[in-house]
Amino acid sequence: MTLRQECLWEKLTPERPKANALSGALKVDVCVIGAGITGLSAALHLLEQGKSVCVLEAHETGQGGSGRNVGLVNAGIWIAPDEVESGLGQAVGSKLVTTMGAAPALVFSLIDKYAIDCQARREGTLHMAHNARGVADLQSRCGQWQRRGAPVEMLTGAVCHEATGTQRIAAALLDRRAGTLNPMAYTSGLANAVTKLGGKLFHHSAVTRLERQGSTWCVITERGAVNAEQVVIASNAYTEGEWTELRRNFFPGFYYQVASAPLGGEAAARILPGGQGAWDTRQVLSSIRRDAAGRLLLGSLGSGTNKPAWFLRAWADRIQQHYFPELGAVDWESTWTGTIAFTPDHLMRLFEPAPGLVAVTGYNGRGVTTGSVVGKAFADYLVSGDAQALPMPLQPMQNVTAAGLRSCLYEAGFSLYHAGQCLRVVI
């Protein structure tokens, strides 16, 4: 079977929102740039508070990271809670930890409130220890979250083997706050809710200029212009054009996925039988999940677009045979890649470069929950003017030094590691 370059989530979400390109002039309270989870969550929460809103999207809804990610609805950020608090200070750190710990609940409440049909599963996530150091790290994380009252637990021995479906994992951290979804369907559902509440969504409307005009903003596209009191820049890792400094505040990295054909049979049913999404503690991690049709989805850091199909198949075979040897040969159907906005310290950045203009980047690969939270927080901040609404303080924009070099080094490191996996030098 040929391995198609195709995002599975697009295929599984045939009814995606349709919208025209902006043409002519429009006046709204708030203009949102980017129809991903952040921009759409901002738009939705602004509309709920009575603001008039338009969303300008360079391509189509969800075509950035939001529609092509793994679909893990993670609780917390990458960094363990104690480290967040010691790094940012108790007050700022504990607010971020608490907000992001509760973030899956916000995602699931939006899904319920707007009846978003997106294969949402709320059985949690499994962070799987691949070696003794991984076990120690997860035990420490587990203790830190438990001290904060979070419903997390370590699974070991037979319970762990049963939950993960693999004998290769000795311990896993089950986080019951979290879950999985089809990210394109979630993003499309947010967009549908925006238009239902009267928001105006425009596709194929890339912003090319942003100008201050007296006390308002003029957001300019090829064929139109929006006059708005306030602007949310939610273009994140996919920022196009030179109209904003945002793209210099992160360095891009990539993540690819490979999805099998739907798998039946007993061996397949034993993989993650509880419906959790999983990833391992390797530094170049592998993510593992299944979709509603029983496909097996494997993913890892790095770009799949610069790798031949045979290499991606060999990599997927290697990971599958390591974790799930009893499956036998698997047909790999599709592969796709997305861009992630990384920051050197793995923390997001919130900006207000001018009055009435807010921007964000640097989710470091955790944007389903973070984007939903930040979008809501931006809406609350723009309406109330109270910076306490934000999950962390605003910062001045600051270019990431040697961003291009960092991206190249990351990509080279990931590719080398994957080649080592295929050659059975490492796993």
Ligand X SMILES: Cc1cc2nc3c(=O)[nH]c(=O)nc-3n(C[C@H](O)[C@H](O)[C@H](O)COP(=O)(O)OP(=O)(O)OC[C@H]3O[C@@H](n4cnc5c(N)ncnc54)[C@H](O)[C@@H]3O)c2cc1C
Q: What is the rounded distance in angstroms from the CA atom of residue 334 to the CA atom of residue 7?
A: 7
Of residues 126-155, those binding ligand X (CB under 6 A):
none
Of residues 290-349, those binding ligand X (CB under 6 A):
338-340
Contact 211, 138 (CB under 8 A): no
Most distant CA pair in the chain, distance: 67
Closer by beta carbon to ligand X, 241 or else 404: 241
Residue 142 CB, shortest distance to ligand X, in Å, is 20
Residue in the block written with tokens 């159907």: 333
Residue in the block written with tokens 């944007």: 367
Q: What is the rounded distance in angstroms from the CA atom of residue 266 to the CA atom of residue 247?
A: 47
Residue 421 CB, shortest distance to ligand X, in Å, is 18
Structure token digits, residue 168: 């290769």
Binding ligand X (rule: CB under 6 A), the pick from 13, 63, 192, 335 is: 63
Residue 306 CB, shortest distance to ligand X, in Å, is 15
User: Is residue 124 at the binding interface for ligand X, with CB under 6 A as the rule?
Assistant: no
Closer by beta carbon to ligand X, 33 or else 138: 33
Q: What is the rounded distance in angstroms from the CA atom of residue 98 to the CA atom of residue 103?
A: 9
Contact 187, 368 (CB under 8 A): no
Binding piece for ligand X, criterion CB under 6 A, among 22-30, 130-138, 365-373, 383-391: 365-373
From the CA atom positions of the chain, what is the Rg in Å?
21
Report angle CA 126, 276, 41 to the nearest 5 degrees. 100
Task: Using CA atoms of 80, 86, 90, 95 in order, give the dihedral in degrees to the nearest 10.
Answer: -30
Total chain residues near ligand X (CB under 6 A):
42
Closer by beta carbon to ligand X, 170 or else 257: 257
Residue 422 CB, shortest distance to ligand X, in Å, is 20
Residue 167 CB, shortest distance to ligand X, in Å, is 25
Of residues 206-235, those binding ligand X (CB under 6 A):
206-207, 234-235
Q: What is the rounded distance in angstroms from the CA atom of residue 289 to the CA atom of residue 42?
A: 29
Residue 362 CB, shortest distance to ligand X, in Å, is 9
Q: What is the rounded distance in angstroms from the CA atom of residue 378 to the CA atom of residue 42?
A: 6
Binding piece for ligand X, criterion CB under 6 A, among 53-61, 123-131, 154-162, 311-319: 53-61
Contact 354, 245 (CB under 8 A): no
User: Is residue 286 at the binding interface for ligand X, with CB under 6 A as the rule?
Assistant: no
Binding piece for ligand X, criterion CB under 6 A, among 50-58, 114-122, 300-308, 391-399: 50-58
Among 292, 365, 366, 289, which Cα is nearest to 323's?
Answer: 289
Binding ligand X (rule: CB under 6 A), the pick from 17, 134, 252, 371 is: 371
Binding ligand X (rule: CB under 6 A), the pick from 44, 56, 383, 392 is: 56
Binding ligand X (rule: CB under 6 A), the pick from 7, 30, 33, 297 is: 33
Binding piece for ligand X, criterion CB under 6 A, among 27-35, 167-175, 351-359, 389-397: 27-35
CA atoms in the 13 A half-sphere facing the CB of 308? 5
E strands along 138-269, which residues?
152-156, 171-175, 179-180, 200-202, 207-213, 216-221, 224-233, 251-260
The mark string for 72-101 relative to ligand X (x by CB under 6 A, - otherwise) is: x-x---------------------------
Residue 116 CB, shortest distance to ligand X, in Å, is 15
Helix axes 183-196, 37-48, angle to 10 degrees: 30
Q: Which helix (H) or strand (E) holds 361?
A: strand 357-361
Q: What is the rounded distance in angstroms from the CA atom of residue 275 to the CA atom of residue 269?
A: 10
Residue 300 CB, shortest distance to ligand X, in Å, is 10
Residue 247 CB, shortest distance to ligand X, in Å, is 9
User: Is residue 70 at the binding interface for ligand X, with CB under 6 A as the rule?
Assistant: yes
Of residues 231-270, those binding ligand X (CB under 6 A):
234-241, 255
User: Is residue 367 at the binding interface for ligand X, with CB under 6 A as the rule?
Assistant: yes
How many other β-carbons are positioned within 10 Å of the β-carbon of residue 345? Answer: 12
Q: What is the rounded distance in angstroms from the CA atom of residue 394 to the CA atom of residue 197?
A: 29
Binding piece for ligand X, criterion CB under 6 A, among 12-20, 62-70, 126-134, 388-396: 62-70
What residue ranges bind ligand X (CB under 6 A)? Answer: 33-39, 56-59, 63-66, 68-72, 74, 206-207, 234-241, 255, 338-340, 363, 365-369, 371
